[in-house]
Amino acid sequence: MSVQRQTKQLQAIQTAFETAGRPLSIDEIHELAGRDIESLGVRTVYRAVRRLQENGDVSIVNVPGGSDRYELASVAAEHHHHFHCTACDRFFDIHGCPGGLKKLLPKGFKLEHHELTLSGLCESCA
């Protein structure tokens, strides 16, 4: 994480990212970091996540039709995909890629980027 004013709240939020090991929603960050800082407000979480994003420590995981998630930039820097549990609404990292996606493209199209989100039940919900 980059150098910046280190408050107890910011440290709790950074710890939430590091210990969760998966993309987190603002509510999940608030819940996890709130275990260490009971007085932590949701607005403080939003401000801290925005600051972490601006500093390049955290990256956004866009969730079409849902709330965005956030993950450590070090994780986002490596190509990976996500699994969405439809029961508990948590997201998990999937490392690896199915490949061979170019053969799915219409003739003359050029693939520049892809994102893949699998959906189903996580181990806890299955």
Residues 71 and 85 in one domain: no
Residues 16 and 44 in one domain: yes
Residues 21 and 71 in one domain: yes
Residues 12 and 65 in one domain: yes
- The 10s digit of each residue's pLDDT in 31-77 is 999 999 999 999 999 999 999 999 999 999 999 888 999 999 999 99
Confidence band for 2, pLDDT divided at 50, 70 and 90: very low
DSSP string, the chain: -------HHHHHHHHHHHHH-S-B-HHHHHHHHHTT-TT--HHHHHHHHHHHHHTTSEEEE--TTS--EEEEHHHHTS-EEEEEETTT--EEEEES----GGGGSPTT--------EEEE--TTT-
- Answer with the residue of higher pLDDT: 2 or 119: 119
Q: Is residue 2 part of a domain?
A: no
Residues 16 and 46 in one domain: yes
- The 10s digit of each residue's pLDDT in 78-111 is 999 999 999 999 999 998 888 889 899 999 999 9
Give the global pTM. Answer: 0.86
Print the domain residue range for 33.
Answer: 8-75
Q: Is residue 26 part of a domain?
A: yes
Q: Is residue 99 part of a domain?
A: yes
Confidence band for 1, pLDDT divided at 50, 70 and 90: very low
Residues 42 and 15 in one domain: yes
Q: Is residue 125 part of a domain?
A: no
Q: Is residue 126 part of a domain?
A: no
Residues 84 and 43 in one domain: no
Give the number of domains in the chain: 2
Residues 49 and 103 in one domain: no
